[in-house]
């Protein structure tokens, strides 16, 4: 493997993912962001464009961020696994572990005010236990990464709002809560919205 800053530029740890990916999809956003969103793994759009959350889920996330006065460039967005699994299957435990070093390095370097896990896979991966996402959404826990502890907010995956409308308010409320807990967006001064005009 090789890395440039926070970007993994070459990695052969997961034989199946090396076959299924077109490219490695690294995290995007400032490397000192207060708010870090962690998803599961790249899908087809992300694999094609080389950026996390650029498909329909990304639009849902961008819209919810905009509602609280944040733009995508104000936050950092990454995934537990950086290569697209075949047929969008969930990453295996082994693949999650293979990629863990990169995620931990990203969290430690950012040292964010808050980590927001989008869906079951990242929530369970970072909390190290099973998580009932729909009931635990909006709850804050401590997640240990190396020697440090980070505040982690559980959130439903943005895609959940697309097939279950009742998840929409849970999602948008959790994003608003995230901005407030991290002290960014409208909850701070509203300034970041000015940059959009």
Binding site for ligand URA (CB under 6 A): 39-43, 46, 52-53, 57, 79
For residue 162, the minimal CB distance to ligand URA (Å) is 11
Q: Using the minimum distance from each CB to ligand URA, give the nearer residue, 62 or 188.
A: 62
For residue 158, the minimal CB distance to ligand URA (Å) is 8
Three-class SS string for the chain? CEEECCEEEECCCCHHHHHHCCCCCCCECCCCCCEEEEECCCCHHHHHHCCCCCCHHHHHHHHHHHHCCCCHHHCEEEECCCCCCHHHCCCCHHHHHHHHHHHHHHHHHHCCCEEEEECHHHHHHHHCCCCCHHHHCCCEEEEEECCEEEEEEEECCCCHHHHCCCHHHHHHHHHHHHHHHHCCHHHCCCHHHHCCC
For residue 116, the minimal CB distance to ligand URA (Å) is 12
Q: Using the minimum distance from each CB to ligand URA, give the nearer residue, 110 or 120.
A: 120
Q: Using the minimum distance from each CB to ligand URA, give the nearer residue, 79 or 177.
A: 79
Residue nearest to ligand URA (CB): 39
Q: Using the minimum distance from each CB to ligand URA, give the nearer residue, 86 or 190.
A: 86
């Amino acid at each position: 493997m090789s890395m440039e800053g926070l970007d993994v530029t070459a990695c052969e740890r997961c034989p199946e993912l090396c076959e299924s990916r077109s490219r490695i999809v690294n995290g995007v956003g400032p490397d000192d962001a207060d708010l870090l969103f962690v998803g599961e793994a790249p899908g087809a759009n992300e694999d094609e464009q080389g950026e996390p959350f650029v498909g329909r889920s990304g639009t849902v996330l961008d819209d919810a961020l905009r509602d609280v006065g944040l733009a995508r460039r104000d936050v950092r967005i990454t995934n537990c696994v950086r290569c697209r699994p075949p047929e969008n299957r969930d990453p295996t435990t082994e693949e999650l572990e293979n990629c863990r070093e990169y995620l931990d390095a990203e969290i430690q370097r950012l040292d964010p005010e808050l980590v927001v896990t989008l869906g079951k896979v990242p929530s369970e991966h970072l909390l190290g236990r099973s998580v009932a996402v729909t009931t635990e959404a909006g709850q804050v826990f401590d997640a240990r990464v190396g020697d440090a502890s980070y505040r982690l907010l559980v959130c439903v995956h943005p895609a959940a709002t697309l097939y279950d409308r009742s998840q929409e308010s849970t999602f948008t409320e959790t994003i608003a809560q995230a901005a407030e807990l991290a002290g960014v967006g409208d909850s701070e001064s509203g300034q970041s919205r000015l940059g959009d005009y």
